[in-house]
Amino acid sequence: MSGPLPRGTRSAAGIAVTVCVLGLVPLAVLAALSLVWSERALRDSAQDRIRESSAAAAAFVTTRLAGLEDYLKTFADDPGVLEPFRVADPTADLAQRLQPVVDTVLSGDPTLTIASVLSPQGVILATTLEKKYLGMDMSGRDYFTGAVRTGRAYVSTVYTSILPGNPLMTNAIVPIRLAVDDPPVGYLTAARQLSITQGYVRSYADVADIGMTLTDQSGAVVASTGDRSLGQVDPGNAGWVTPALRGDSGVMTIDTSDGPQLLSYRALPSGWTVAAHLPESTMLAPWYDLRSAVLVLSLVLAAGFAVPGLVIFYMTRGRQRAVTALGAAHEQLATANAHLEARVEQRTRELSAAVDDLEGFAYSVSHDLRAPLRAISGFSQALDDDAQTLDDTDRHYLQRIRAAADTMGHLIDDLLRLSRVGRSQLSIGPVDITPIARDIAAETARGAPGVDPPTVHVADGIVVHADRQLITVALQNLIGNALKFTRDTPNPAIEIDHHTTEEETVIFVRDNGCGFDMTYADKLFQPFQRLHTHEQFDGTGIGLATVARIARRHGGRVWADSTPGHGATFYLALPRTHQQPAAT
C-alpha cells in the first residue's frame, strides 16, 4: 500500500534535488566554456596553418612564374636577339634570323609548347609553329594587350590555342628593347599548356598535404587539386576570387560537396590568385573528439540527476557512481585537451623544422654555387689574359660574362648573409649605435662614387635593446642604401636619428636622394625585389630583406616613406624591452 513519503524522506528528496540542480548547472557551464575555448583555440591554430600554407603556395607559384619570365628575359637581352633589329632594314629576312632564337627558347624548357617573336603591332615574326602562322595578327590576344598596357613582362589569362585539338594554355611575354628606356622593337613570348601547370600544382599540393586552386586575372581556373573544370570560371569560387583579385587576402569557410572546408586566399604579383584549403573536419578533429567526451559526460550526469529518489534510497551507491562517472569524464576531458595541445605543438614543430630546412637549403645552395662560379671567373680571366687575339665583339661578350659572374658572386654573398640572420643565436642587450653608425658611414662613404661627398649626421645617444652583431648588419644595409641612392644628388645629405614611444625605439635613416614611388613600397623588404634597374643602381635586392628579417627576429618592424625626387626615410622600430624573437 502506497502513501506519502515520510517528512525526513521528503526533506532529503528536496535536498537531493537542490544539490542536483546546483551541481548540474556549474558543470554544464564548465563543459560549455571548455567546448567554446577549445574550439576557438583549435580554429585559430587551423587558420594560422592554412594561412601559412597559402603563403607558401603563393611563393611556390610566384617562383615558377618568375622563373619563366626571367628565362625569357635572358633571351630578350641577348645580342643574338637584338642584332637583327639593329640593321638598316630590320624586316629583311627577319624571320630567318630570329628562327634559331625561338627554337632555342623552346628546346631550353621542356614544359613550353610554343615560342614566338611578335612585332610591336602583334604580328608573328618568327615561331616554332608551322610557317603558315608567320604574319598572323595576335594583337587581340590578352597576353599581347597586357604586355603593351603594362610595358613589362606579363602572364596571360587562360586562352584556347590555335594548335590542333585547341588545348588550353597560358602565355608569358617580355618586351624586347634595344636600350632600357627605348620602346619595344618586338616581344618574345612562350606558351605553356594548362596540363603542365596542373601537374606541378598537384605535385606541390601532394607534398604540402593541402588542397590548392589557382585562377587567372579573370577568375578562370588555371590549376586545381579538385574536380573543377580548367579554363572556366567556377561560380563557387566567387566568394574568395573577387577579393583576391582586388589584392586582398583572408581566411574563410566554404561549403563543398565534401563538406565545409577552411580556405585561405591571396593575390599573386602576376595578377593571378591562389587558395589553399583543407577539410574542416580534418583540422577540427580533436575538437570533435572533445565534444563527444563532453556529450558522454552530459548524458551520464543527466541520467544520474533524473532520478533523485534513487539518490535518497541508494545514497552511498549513487554518490560512488556519480564520483566515478565524474572522474572518468574529467579524465576524458583532460585527455582530449592534452591531445589538442599535442597537435598544436606538433604543428609548431613542423613549421619550425620547415623554416630551418629552408634556411639550411639556402645556405647549402649558396655554398655549392661557388665552385661553378669560380670556374667561370677563372676561364674568363684566362681569356682576358689573351685578349689581344679577340675582336671587339668577343671582348664585349667576355666583359659581360665577367660582370655576370661578379653579380652572381655578390648575390651568393647576400644570400649567405640573409641565411645567417635566421640561423644566428641572439644575444640581446643595450647597444649604443651612435659610434657604430658613424664608423659605418665613414667607412662606406670613403669610397662611394658621386657628384659630391655625402654629409652624414648621426645623432648622439641612440641606444636600443638589440643583438649588437645583427643591428650592425641592419645599419650597414640602411646606410649603404642611403649612400647608393644619393650618389647622383648634388650636396647629398644623410641623417640618422631616433625617437621613442612607451613601447618602441624607432631608428630612422633619412636621405635626399632619388626616392621612390610609394605604390611599390610593399616590395621593398621582399628578397630580390628592386625598384630600379642595374644600369641605374647596382645591387641584388637582398639588403632591405635582411633588415626586415633582423627586425622580425627582435620582435620589431620596418617601413619606409618617400616621394620621387625628394629622398626617402627608412624606419626600424625595436621593442624597448626584450621580447620573444619572432619566427623568421
Q: Are 369 and 410 spatial neighbours (Cβ–Cβ below 8 Å)?
A: no
Structure confidence by residue, pLDDT tens digits, 383-413:
766 666 677 777 777 777 776 666 666 666 6
Q: What is the per-residue pLDDT for 352?
A: 65
* Range(s) of the chain covered by CATH 3.30.565.10: 424-575
Of 432, 435, 481, give the one whose Cα is nearest residue 454.
481
* Range(s) of the chain covered by CATH 3.30.450.20: 35-283
What one-character-per-residue DSSP string does 493-517 give? EEEEEEEE-SSEEEEEEEE-S----
d(CA 44, CA 559): 28
User: Predicted confidence band at 431 (pLDDT cuts at 50, 70, 90)?
Assistant: very high
Of 503, 511, 521, give the one whose Cα is nearest residue 565.
511
d(CA 287, CA 13): 38
User: Predicted confidence band at 107 (pLDDT cuts at 50, 70, 90)?
Assistant: confident
Q: H/E/C letters for each residue in 70-133?
A: HHHHHHHCCHHHHHHHHCCCCCCCHHHHHHHHHHHHHHHCCCCCEEEEECCCCEEEEECCCHHH
Q: Which residue has the higher pLDDT, 435 or 206?
A: 435
Among all chains, which residue has been given the C-alpha cell 644566428? 424
384-411 exposure pattern, b = at least 16 Cβ within 10 A, e = fewer: eeeeeeeeeeeeeebeebbeebeebbeb
Q: What is the per-residue pLDDT for 1?
A: 46
Rounded to an integer, the average pLDDT of 282-305 is 62
Q: Are 493 and 509 spatial neighbours (Cβ–Cβ below 8 Å)?
A: no
Give CA separation, 119 vs 90, 128, 266, in Å.
11, 16, 35
Q: H/E/C letters for each residue in 514-527?
A: CCCCHHHHHHCCCC
d(CA 367, CA 359): 13
Rounded to an integer, the average pLDDT of 5-10 is 48
Q: What is the per-residue pLDDT for 313?
A: 46
Q: Are 168 and 162 spatial neighbours (Cβ–Cβ below 8 Å)?
A: no
Q: H/E/C letters for each residue in 204-219?
A: HHHHHCCEEEEECCCC
Query: What CATH fold (topology level) applies to the domain 424-575?
Result: Heat Shock Protein 90 (3.30.565)
pLDDT > 90? residue 189: yes
d(CA 496, CA 498): 7
Give CA separation, 110 vs 106, 113, 192, 193, in Å.
7, 8, 10, 11
Q: What is the per-residue pLDDT for 572?
A: 93
Structure confidence by residue, pLDDT tens digits, 519-535:
877 777 877 666 655 55
Relative orientation angle of helices 315-368 and 370-385, to the nearest 10 degrees: 10
C-alpha cell at 538: 647596382
Structure confidence by residue, pLDDT tens digits, 299-310:
665 555 555 544
Say how many C-beta atoms besides its own lie within 10 A of residue 302's C-beta: 11
Rounded to an integer, the average pLDDT of 240-253 is 85
Q: Are 567 and 512 spatial neighbours (Cβ–Cβ below 8 Å)?
A: yes
Q: Are 507 and 572 spatial neighbours (Cβ–Cβ below 8 Å)?
A: yes
Q: What is the per-residue pLDDT for 306?
A: 52
Q: What is the per-residue pLDDT for 580?
A: 44
User: Predicted confidence band at 222 (pLDDT cuts at 50, 70, 90)?
Assistant: confident
pLDDT > 90? residue 269: no
Q: What is the per-residue pLDDT for 5?
A: 46
Contacts of 245 (CB under 8 A, 6+ apart): 217, 219, 267, 271, 273
**How buried is 491 (Cβ within 10 angstroms: 0-12 exposed, 13-18 middle, 19+ buried)?**
exposed
**The domain at 35-283 falls in which architecture?**
2-Layer Sandwich (3.30)
Of 529, 522, 548, 508, give the one whose Cα is nearest residue 422.
548
Task: Provide φ and ψ at 559, rounded to 5°.
Answer: -160, 175
Say how many C-beta atoms besides its own lie within 10 A of residue 204's C-beta: 18
Structure confidence by residue, pLDDT tens digits, 44-70:
777 787 888 888 888 888 887 777 778
Q: Which of 117-121, 286-290, 442-446 has the least mean pLDDT?
A: 286-290
